[in-house]
């Protein structure tokens, strides 16, 4: 028997898109008045094993060395030159049938130092052209305002988000772009993956570890300041255009218990609470009790300023998640603060990211049950070594299998009652990796002929997965 109350597929208004970040695709790192941003000092290293390639904590000495370095390879400075190739790239993406495109505005293009009183007009004019081109290609722009592109000056002259001054700097930046694009952009994600304060700590919060005495405390103070800024920006957005839809974004990090031992289950629940924490504040509007206990047990003295609790009541309209892999936890790992580890029951990518399509359905249900707001899958995909064959073709069936299996589970989540609003595979055109600053970790449907050292023609070509995704979109997810 068919129950008409159970959806039978993706909604007609579903957003089928792709997602990139300005710092990983634009290049042109010193053009048109752009200032240094935190991503500009991400060094590529070829002497580190794949599963240990990730961004680490950074000191002020390292920052100065990177600024002065003339020999090292910093791929995000040139990336795939999207700053100059965006028109053709967007045509290719649009031709796949995408009706939405997620990218970020590089904060350092708009406020090169972050603390200026007036914006850089040349930077705004670039995003005028970019957003107009997205719309002209029939795609809804989904804009992220902070995606690892904080002006570096806010780290060196201040202490990143640990400094309270950043609240006003960020709100000013938000007001500038909200006002500029009030009639062109509906969907905004204020901060990419706001819960990543461990392995993306510097890129996200801009806190140099030698500028604070208690780094863990500084991170939570920084993210508190950031969440207050987000809430203030959300309230401001609604005054500028009530039709805006403001999103908060998780990197899904909720883990499974390693066993049904009560100690493992409880430890995992408590560990996962501090993953939910960011959404509990930005979607529920207040600090949960478990967070105060966590701060007490970890000697974190969090400072709330007058008016902060009132400000946090301006909650987001939707939640966005990035979903790539799952991990497991037990009581020992949580006690040792190495809070999760690989799941032996699932296969992993070359970079050690566990492939778990069913986990996507599980997490969508968990988030929906907890928050009851629309959910956007703002990132999903598999990084792989794509090699053209003797005919120049890239037959990336492994990518098709990964995405197909995840979309099948997303459809099941919709049938479970989850209000899913969009799907944005990560890097629909090959871009520089966030965590490892390499080109060889490719996610795209479109191949870019550049290697880890920036060598190559830069030519674009379509992979097998491009045709598959086009077919998926044309059928509104019926033909996977």
Q: How confident is the model at residue 468 (pLDDT cuts 50, 70, 90)?
A: very high
Q: Is 299 exposed, middle or buried (0-12, 13-18, 19+ CB in 10 A)?
A: exposed
Above 90 in pLDDT, residue 2? no
The whole-number pLDDT of residue 51 equals 53
The whole-number pLDDT of residue 161 equals 98
Distance CA 379, CA 385 (A): 19
The whole-number pLDDT of residue 415 equals 97
- The stretch 74-85 carries a mean pLDDT of 97
Which pTM was predicted? 0.96
- The stretch 339-364 carries a mean pLDDT of 93
Task: Convert the pLDDT of each residue in 247-283 to its tens digit.
Answer: 999 999 999 999 999 999 999 999 999 999 999 999 9
Percent of the chain with pLDDT over 90: 91
Q: How many CA atoms lie within 13 A of 228 on its CB side?
A: 24
Positive or negative, the CA dihedral 384, 390, 394, 396 is negative
The whole-number pLDDT of residue 341 equals 87
Give residues with Cβ within 8 angstroms of 369, minimum separation 6: none
Domains annotated on the chain, with CATH: 15-474 (3.20.20.80)
Which residues are paired to 322 by β-bridges?
Answer: 251, 379
Distance CA 401, CA 301 (A): 47
The whole-number pLDDT of residue 50 equals 55
Where helices occur in 137-214 by DSSP H, the ranges are 153-156, 165-180, 201-205
Centroid of chain to Cα 22: 11
Cα separation values, 65 from 114, 153, 437, Å: 21, 15, 18
Task: Convert the pLDDT of each residue in 23-65 to its tens digit.
Answer: 999 999 999 999 999 999 999 988 765 555 556 788 999 999 9
Query: How many residues are recorded in the chain?
Result: 480
The answer to whether the beta carbons of residues 420 and 12 sit under 8 Å apart is no
The whole-number pLDDT of residue 376 equals 98
The whole-number pLDDT of residue 472 equals 98
Where residue 340 falls (left for φ over 0; alpha for ψ -120 to 50; beta otherwise) is beta
């Amino acid at each position: 028997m068919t129950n008409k109350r159970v959806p039978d597929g993706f909604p007609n208004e579903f957003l089928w898109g792709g997602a990139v970040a300005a710092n990983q695709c634009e290049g042109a790192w010193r053009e048109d008045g752009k200032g240094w941003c935190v991503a500009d000092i991400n060094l590529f290293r070829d002497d580190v094993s794949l599963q240990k390639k990730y961004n680490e904590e950074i000191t002020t000495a390292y920052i100065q060395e990177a600024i002065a370095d003339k020999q090292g390879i910093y791929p995000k400075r040139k990336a795939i030159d999207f700053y100059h190739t965006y028109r053709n790239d967007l045509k290719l993406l649009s031709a796949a049938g995408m009706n939405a495109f997620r990218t970020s505005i590089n904060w350092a293009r708009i406020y090169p130092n972050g603390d200026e009183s007036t914006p850089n007009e040349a930077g705004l004019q670039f995003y005028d052209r970019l957003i107009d081109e997205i719309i002209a290609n029939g795609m809804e722009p989904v804009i992220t305002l902070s995606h690892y592109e904080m002006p570096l000056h806010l780290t060196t002259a201040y202490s990143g988000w640990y400094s309270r001054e950043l609240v006003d700097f960020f709100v000013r930046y938000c007001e500038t772009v909200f006002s500029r694009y009030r009639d062109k952009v509906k969907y905004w994600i204020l901060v990419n993956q706001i819960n990543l304060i461990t392995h993306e700590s510097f890129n996200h919060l801009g806190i140099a570890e030698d500028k604070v005495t208690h780094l863990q405390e500084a991170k939570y103070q920084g993210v508190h300041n950031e969440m207050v800024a987000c809430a203030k920006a959300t309230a401001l957005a609604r005054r500028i255009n009530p039709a805006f839809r403001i999103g908060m974004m998780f990197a899904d990090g909720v883990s499974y218990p390693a066993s049904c031992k009560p100690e493992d289950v409880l430890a995992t629940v408590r560990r996962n609470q501090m993953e939910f924490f960011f959404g509990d504040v930005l979607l529920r509007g207040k600090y949960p009790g478990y967070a105060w206990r966590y701060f007490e047990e970890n000697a974190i003295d969090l400072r709330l300023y007058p008016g902060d609790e009132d400000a946090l009541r301006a909650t987001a309209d939707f939640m966005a998640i990035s979903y790539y892999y799952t991990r497991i936890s037990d009581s020992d790992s949580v006690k040792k603060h190495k809070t999760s580890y690989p799941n032996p029951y699932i296969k992993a990518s070359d970079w050690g990211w566990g492939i778990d399509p069913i986990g996507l359905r599980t997490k969508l249900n968990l988030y929906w049950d907890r928050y009851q707001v629309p959910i956007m899958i703002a990132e999903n995909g598999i990084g792989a070594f794509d090699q053209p064959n003797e005919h120049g073709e890239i037959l990336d069936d492994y990518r098709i299998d990964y995405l197909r299996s995840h979309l099948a589970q997303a459809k099941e989540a919709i049938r479970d009652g989850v209000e899913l609003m969009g799907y944005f595979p990560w890097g629909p055109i090959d871009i520089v990796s966030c965590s490892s600053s390499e080109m060889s970790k490719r996610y795209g449907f479109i191949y870019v002929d550049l290697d880890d050292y920036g060598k190559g023609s830069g030519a674009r070509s379509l992979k097998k997965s491009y045709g598959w995704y086009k077919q998926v979109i044309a059928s509104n997810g019926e033909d996977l």
